[in-house]
Each structure stands twice: as C-alpha cells, then as structure tokens.
Structure 1
Amino acid sequence: MKQNNYFSVKFQGDKLIFLDQTKLPLEECYVETDDYERIAVAIERLEVRGAPLIGIIAAYGLVLAVKQKENSSEAFEKAFKRLESTRPTAANLFFALNELREVYNSNRS
C-alpha cells in the first residue's frame, strides 16, 4: 500500500507551511510563508478549511506579525484585526486569536 506524507500545517523555523486545499485532489501544493497577510489571504480564499485549522494558522499568523515587528503592540493589533476580519463567523478563529491576545497582554508587563 502506498503511503503518503500529506500534512495540513507545519511550523518550520519562523515559517508556516500549509496545504493549499483548493488544489486537492489533483495536486498536492504547499505554501510556505512568514507573512501574516498571506495567511489572511489563504483563509479568505479557502486555501485552508476546517474550523480548527483556520484557528491554528490565524494564531500562528499573529505570532509571525509580532516577531517581525519586534514585539510591537501596534503590529499585534493590526494583524489581529486583519486576521479577525477574514472569516466573520469562524468561532475557532476568534477563540484562537483571543487566547493569544490574553497571553500577549499578560506578558507585556
């Protein structure tokens, strides 16, 4: 039996690698990014699907935004609002982003 090595999402260094689900089942195409805006676009274009996965990559997008801007609270809020706007009804997305907001705020002092 042939075994595949598909994965939905992987964190490698400071990059997020995710399976572009719009290409399935004909093509296995992965996107590698370190940009929260690319992650936001992926959510909007339904390149990633499924509530838990959307929450996971949105949260990682927030982490990337903060890392790129040296822990700037302005960068955090900008990325938070952008990622939050990608799917207005996605409960897992809001949960993940709000959890990270709590962690971020509690560690700023």
Structure 2
Amino acid sequence: MRNDKVWQLIANELATHNAIQCKNKWKYLKSKYYEKKGNMSAKASGTKVMKFDYLEEFDDLFKDNANVIHVAIASSSNGIKNIKEIGSLTSTENQKKRKKSIL
C-alpha cells in the first residue's frame, strides 16, 4: 500500500482533516521529536529545554531506530546497569588500544 493511500485511510477515520493535513502534521511532530531528542543529548548542554508532549509515544515508535539518540531514564535501574556495562566495555577497549600504542 502506498503512503498516499495510508494517509487517505487515516484522514477517512478522523473525518476532520484531509490526507495532506494528516501527513504534514505527522512530519511536523516527527521533526519536533528528533529536535527534542537532540536537545536532550549531551552535546546540547546549555540549550533551552524543549517541551514535547508526545515524547513517550514517539520513543515507543522509534525505539529501534538507530537515528534517534536514546537517553537513560533516571528511574530505570536496568538502564543504569546497562550504561555501566557499556562504560566498562568502552574503557576496556580503550585500555587495549593504549597498551598497543605503548608497545
């Protein structure tokens, strides 16, 4: 099924907006989501905090997307554990590189 047909089906279900309006709204929300995720990254320190009402919903939709920068949630003890594991892996790899460069 082509995207145009999908947007038309969505518009028919809503019955308040046409397919182009639905498509444009989706593109706008998606761009704001990516902007918010970039705003939350470590590289964005000092920038004004953005508000995005649908953050959790979009996180669920894009959780497997490699283009999205995922951050740890403070209330997630598993997330902290995973971050520590990743940190220990990278520090081990760095130590191996340092040893090779010394030799």
TM-score (norm. length: structure 1) = 0.29
Query: Which one has the bigger strand percentage?
Result: 1
Query: Which one has the bigger helix percentage?
Result: 2
TM-score (norm. length: structure 2) = 0.30
